[in-house]
């Protein structure tokens, strides 16, 4: 089967799974489904038909975005860029927009966020607790450099623009996983809100975006996880609009037999877990893509340098740094 771009579509794991919940007892309507290897939860207040229509559209959009942005689905735009051997690839305008925004966060991150870190990430297995061979990791980081990603548009005879992407280094690889959920959360909020809802919360596995409020006028409460025990919360952030995104070293990690702790936030320059005094950071922005784009960077920079970066970026409304002892340090 082909998608709208003429490319073959790939099956998505558990694509048909969905748990629906009608509004009852003051609680919002909701739906839970799976996408991007993540549990997706949407909750909304509004007329039942409006909520259902909003949820259906959100599910459909997630399927579209996963088939565009996934690194592992073989016919996605990202996979085709990575497999082109350095050749130019025509891509969807939405993929172009995502990558263009991602490169801006790479530039703002002081070298700690790089969407081409994929070759190094691929050598780690955090599920099995495997540490890469040092020589292989050193070879992989030679191809990590976001400057290798080139984007442009070309106008056709009818004036319609076609978007292109190319990797100047044929052995480089793009992975939009560190930024895509923010882009997607913003898109889902806009699409769902257009159905006339009065309150909405979108949760993409720790990436939370909200609009409106509860019928009581109360804001949504977004939990801040304890890095010592991610199943527990040590605080909550009230939101009536905008997004909160949390990154933590506890999300994918393992302790080696020699007692060394390894986490998934890698330094693009070395391919090794970045040294940081932060166990987790929660970032509040009006746009989820901003919160997503800066969350990993702030965690990698640590409390002092991270707070300094927050002061330089007014789009970051607030950031909360949590250290290994559970101490919370607000950036503003």
Q: What is the pLDDT of residues 61-97, one digit of tens each?
A: 999 999 999 999 999 999 999 999 999 999 999 999 9
Q: What is the pLDDT of residue 159?
A: 83
- The distance of Cα 172 from the centroid of its chain, to the nearest Å, equals 20
Average pLDDT estimate for 84-113: 96
- Only one residue has tokens 């040294």, namely 275
Q: What percent of the chain has pLDDT over 90?
A: 79
> What gap in Å lies between CA 332 and CA 307, rounded to an integer?
8
pLDDT per position as a tens digit, 233-263: 888 888 989 999 999 999 899 999 999 999 9
Q: Judge whether residue 182 has pLDDT over 60.
A: yes
Contact 295, 246 (CB under 8 A): yes
Is the entire prediction scored with pTM above 0.75? yes
Residue 12 CB neighbour total at 10 angstroms: 17
Q: What is the pLDDT of residue 5?
A: 47
Half-sphere exposure for 256 (CA within 13 Å, toward CB): 10
Q: Each residue of 28-44: pLDDT tens digit?
A: 999 999 999 899 999 99
Mean pLDDT for all residues in the chain: 93
In sequence order, what DSSP letters do the residues of 191-211 get, joined into one string? HHHTTT-SEEEEEESSEEEEE
Q: Are 62 and 33 in contact (CB under 8 A)?
A: yes
Of 6-15, 75-84, 192-201, the least confident = 6-15
Q: In which band, very low, low, confident or very high, does the pLDDT at 8 lie, cut at 50, 70 and 90?
A: low
Reading the block at residue 49, the tokens are 């038909």
Distance CA 85, CA 71 (A): 15
pLDDT tens column, 118-153: 899 989 999 999 999 999 999 999 999 999 999 999
Euclidean distance between CA atoms 119 and 143, whole angstroms: 7
- Residue 238, judged by CB atoms within 10 A of its CB (0-12, 13-18, 19+), counts as exposed
pLDDT of residue 111: 84
* pLDDT higher than threshold 50 for residue 6: no
Q: How many CB atoms lie within 10 A of CB 312?
A: 8
Instruction: State percent of the chain over pLDDT 70.
Output: 98
Selected residue with higher pLDDT from 200 and 228: 200
Task: Give the per-residue pLDDT at 240.
Answer: 86
Question: How far is the C-alpha of 146 from the C-alpha of 101, rounded, in Å?
Answer: 12
Q: Inform me whether the pLDDT recorded for 183 exceeds 70.
A: yes
SS3 195: coil
What's residue 235's pLDDT? 84
Give the whole-angstrom CA distance, residue 315 versus residue 331. Answer: 13
More confident residue, 205 or 180: 180
């Amino acid at each position: 089967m082909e998608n709208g771009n003429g490319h073959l579509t790939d099956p998505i794991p558990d694509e048909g799974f969905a748990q629906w919940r009608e509004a009852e007892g003051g609680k919002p309507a909701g739906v839970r489904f799976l996408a991007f290897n993540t549990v997706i939860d949407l909750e909304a207040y509004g007329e039942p038909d409006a909520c259902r229509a909003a949820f259906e559209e959100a599910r459909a959009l997630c399927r579209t975005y996963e088939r565009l942005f996934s690194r592992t689905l073989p016919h996605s735009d990202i996979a085709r860029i990575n497999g082109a051997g350095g050749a130019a690839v025509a891509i969807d305008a939405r993929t172009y927009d995502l990558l263009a925004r991602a490169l801006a966060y790479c530039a703002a991150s002081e070298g700690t966020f790089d969407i081409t870190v994929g070759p190094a990430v691929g050598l780690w297995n955090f599920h099995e607790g495997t540490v890469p061979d040092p020589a292989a990791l050193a070879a992989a980081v030679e191809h990590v450099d976001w400057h290798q990603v080139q984007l442009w548009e070309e106008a056709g005879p009818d004036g319609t623009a076609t978007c292109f992407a190319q990797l100047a280094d044929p052995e480089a690889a793009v992975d939009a996983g560190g930024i895509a959920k923010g882009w997607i959360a913003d898109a889902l909020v806009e699409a769902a809100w257009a159905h006339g809802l009065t309150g909405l919360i979108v949760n993409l596995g720790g990436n939370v975006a909200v609009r409106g409020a509860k019928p009581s006028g109360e804001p949504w409460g977004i939990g801040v996880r304890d890095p010592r025990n991610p199943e527990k919360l040590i605080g909550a952030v009230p939101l009536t609009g905008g997004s909160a995104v949390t990154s933590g070293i506890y999300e994918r990690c393992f302790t080696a037999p020699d007692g060394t702790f390894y986490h998934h936030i890698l330094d693009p320059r070395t391919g090794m877990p970045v040294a940081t005094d932060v166990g987790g950071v929660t970032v509040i922005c009006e746009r989820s893509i901003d919160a997503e784009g800066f969350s990993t960077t702030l965690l990698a920079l640590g409390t002092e340098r991270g707070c300094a970066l927050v002061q330089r970026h007014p789009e970051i409304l607030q950031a909360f740094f949590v250290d290994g002892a559970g101490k919370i340090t607000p950036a503003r």
